[in-house]
């Protein structure tokens, strides 16, 4: 009877509708945004700079996001697909997402809202066009020739597989010295190349950037990244993209000396628990599952690659996706990164753009999904902030799809992903007595809650009914006066 259901879309939508509404967009707070413990990253994939700036002011800051991760800002090859951003034509900060001045203004605006900026830095390679061309900002380039930047001697030619391409991920040399999908692979062991890459990153640091997501990190030896890091003009947050592959010689743990690393197993396993196994198994989710140490990991339900490649939950899963993000934001493993997508039907489809492929301003009702604004996800960011440093306590599960846990003394989440409501029972939250906003169904602001209020008694218990595929969450940052 507990075999996993195949939910009809219509049925699921009815039940989880409340999980999908976007949160109210509040006016920016008068006081400066709080700082310190805000760890949650919002990946505003392919957003242009003016739209990122206003989102920092209107949503990310007020909702408590600590970081915004933006798509690659450097000049790229021309075209409509989103992935042109991953083919640098030069290091000019000029792209379909905006000019250098717009980028600078975005960084300043985000900082004023208390949000730090992480840049997706493409440094393993340049373009993949055999015939070269002209980049977005007018720079001409050849496959192995970027005037004033790199010439043929600055690239690897591994001489394997007929076209220098990577085929065998069980061969360390090949993964790091051959070409990832024909992308001209930089000689990151050369001091000149390292200095040139550091020059680009230092330019971004001079614009106020706070950190980098290092694209294709697995394709660069950890020592090469360390050497580039050593050339940075000041310290910056680093998160390295190293996709775990079972049995591969290059392991994510090799990179933790440089900074954080993305834990790709997290989203895949979480999807499996929701889709075909049991939420009860999440009791020891994290390092005990063989993952990176919590303090070195960035956790995510999906990112721009995995949402296209499958095997994870995405916005297309609706309520399950909201619940998976709620779990991630409540559970103390790694630094959580929330994905924010443009809607797509084809893998290569670019973001909403004009006839010249310039990215249009984001509108969260058309062409863009804005998962980071979904009520459940946006409100659980404040839960994450309010519970920093508190251990998991009071774990409960029914053996299957109903789980609950507290973050000692600060917050409590219960998820019921059964196909039936759980009614007439109480939960031990262990938070101070009082009235709390159920932030899964209501927004908290100015001392009031737009949804259901949960009353915790003097012994730390509360009573609640929880619908099928739904949840309840309370935390001390959303306690009514
Ligand atoms: C990444 N991390 O390591 C990015 O997260 C991922 O999105 C990038 O691939 C990849 N590494 C390179 O930076 C994407 C996209 C590819 C696309 C590349 C380059 O997933 O499909 O490749 O960017 O734009 C495309 C074509 C491919 C072609 C290549 C070069 O799909 O068929 O290869 O361009 O022209 C012949
Ligand atoms: Ca490489």
d(CA 454, CA 472) in angstroms, rounded, equals: 9
Global pTM value: 0.94
Cβ contact 135:89 at 8 Å: yes
Atom 1 of ligand 1, residue of closest alpha carbon: 216
Cα 83 to averaged position of ligand 1 atoms, centre (Å): 6
Cα 322 to averaged position of ligand 1 atoms, centre (Å): 28
Cα 355 to averaged position of ligand 1 atoms, centre (Å): 23
Is 215 in the active site? yes
List all residues 6 or more positions away from 196 whose beta carbon is below 8 Å from its beta carbon. 91, 149, 150, 154
- Please list the pLDDT of the chain residue by residue as tens digits (481 residues): 343 443 333 333 334 556 766 665 544 333 333 335 899 999 999 999 999 999 999 999 999 999 999 999 999 999 999 999 999 999 999 999 999 999 999 999 999 999 999 999 999 999 999 999 999 999 999 999 999 999 999 999 999 999 999 999 999 999 999 999 999 999 999 999 999 999 999 999 999 999 999 999 999 999 999 999 999 999 999 999 999 999 999 999 999 999 999 999 999 999 999 999 999 999 999 999 999 999 999 999 999 999 999 999 999 999 999 999 999 999 999 999 999 999 999 999 999 999 999 999 999 989 999 999 999 999 999 999 999 999 999 999 999 999 999 999 999 999 999 999 999 999 999 999 999 999 999 999 999 999 999 999 999 999 999 999 999 999 999 999 9
- Domains along the sequence of the chain with CATH: 23-386 (3.20.20.80), 392-478 (2.60.40.1180)
Distance linking the first and last C-alpha atoms of the chain: 44
Mutational test site, ligand 1, from 128, 169, 218, 245, max ligand atoms within 8 Å of CB? 128
In the prediction, which pLDDT does 418 show? 98
Angle between helices 375-386 and 9-20 (to 10 degrees): 50
Q: Among candidates 7, 3, 1, which has minimal Cα distance to 318?
A: 7
In the prediction, which pLDDT does 390 show? 98
In the prediction, which pLDDT does 14 show? 38
Give the rounded percent of residues in the chain with a pLDDT score beyond 90: 92
Torsions phi, psi of 185, nearest 5? -90, 120
Nearest ligand to residue 88 Cα? 1
Atom 15 of ligand 1, residue of closest alpha carbon: 83
Nearest ligand to residue 124 Cα? 2
In the prediction, which pLDDT does 37 show? 84
């Amino acid at each position: 009877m507990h075999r996993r259901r195949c939910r009809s879309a219509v049925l699921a939508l009815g039940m989880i509708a409340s999980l999908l509404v976007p949160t109210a967009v509040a006016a920016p707070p008068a006081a400066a945004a709080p700082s310190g413990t805000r760890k949650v990253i919002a990946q505003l994939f392919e957003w242009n700079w003016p739209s990122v700036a206003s989102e920092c002011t209107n949503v990310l800051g007020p909702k408590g996001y600590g970081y915004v991760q933006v798509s690659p800002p450097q000049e790229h090859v021309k075209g409509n697909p989103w992935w042109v951003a991953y083919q640098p034509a030069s290091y000019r900060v000029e792209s379909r997402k905006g000019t250098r001045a717009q980028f600078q203004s975005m960084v300043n605006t985000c900082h004023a809202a208390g949000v730090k900026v992480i840049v997706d830095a493409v440094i393993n390679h340049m373009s993949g066009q055999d015939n070269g061309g002209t980049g977005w900002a007018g720079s001409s380039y050849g496959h192995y020739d970027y005037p004033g930047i790199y010439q043929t001697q600055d690239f690897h030619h591994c001489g394997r597989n007929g076209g220098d391409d990577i085929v065998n991920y069980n061969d360390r040399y090949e993964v790091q010295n051959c070409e990832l999908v024909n992308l001209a692979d930089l000689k990151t062991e050369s001091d000149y190349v390292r200095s040139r890459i550091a020059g680009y990153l230092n330019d971004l640091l001079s614009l106020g950037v706070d950190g980098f997501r290092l694209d294709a990190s697995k394709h660069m030896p950890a020592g090469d990244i360390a050497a580039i890091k050593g050339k940075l003009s000041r310290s910056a947050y680093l998160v390295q993209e190293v996709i775990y592959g079972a049995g591969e010689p290059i392991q994510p743990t090799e990179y933790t000396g440089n900074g954080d690393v993305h834990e790709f197993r997290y989203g895949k396993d979480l999807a499996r628990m929701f889709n075909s196994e049991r939420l009860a198994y999440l009791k020891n989710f994290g390092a005990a599952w063989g993952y990176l140490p919590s303090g070195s990991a960035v956790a995510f339900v999906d990112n721009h690659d995995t949402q296209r490649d499958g095997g994870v939950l995405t916005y297309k899963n609706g309520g399950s996706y909201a619940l998976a993000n709620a779990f991630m934001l409540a559970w103390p493993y790694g630094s959580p990164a929330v994905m924010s997508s443009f809607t797509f039907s084809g893998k290569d489809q670019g973001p909403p753009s004009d006839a010249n492929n310039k990215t249009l301003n984001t509108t969260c009702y058309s062409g863009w999904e804005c998962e980071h604004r979904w009520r459940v996800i946006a409100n659980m960011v404040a839960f994450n902030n309010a519970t920093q440093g508190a251990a998991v306590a009071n774990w409960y599960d029914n053996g299957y799809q109903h789980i609950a846990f507290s973050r000692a003394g600060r917050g409590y989440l219960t998820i019921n992903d059964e196909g039936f409501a759980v009614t007439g029972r109480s939960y031990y939250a262990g938070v101070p007595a009082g009235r709390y906003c159920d932030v899964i169904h209501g927004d908290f602001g100015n001392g009031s809650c737009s949804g259901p209020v949960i009353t915790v008694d003097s012994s730390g218990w509360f009573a609640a009914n929880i619908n099928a595929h739904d949840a309840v969450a309370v935390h001390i940052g959303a306690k009514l006066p």
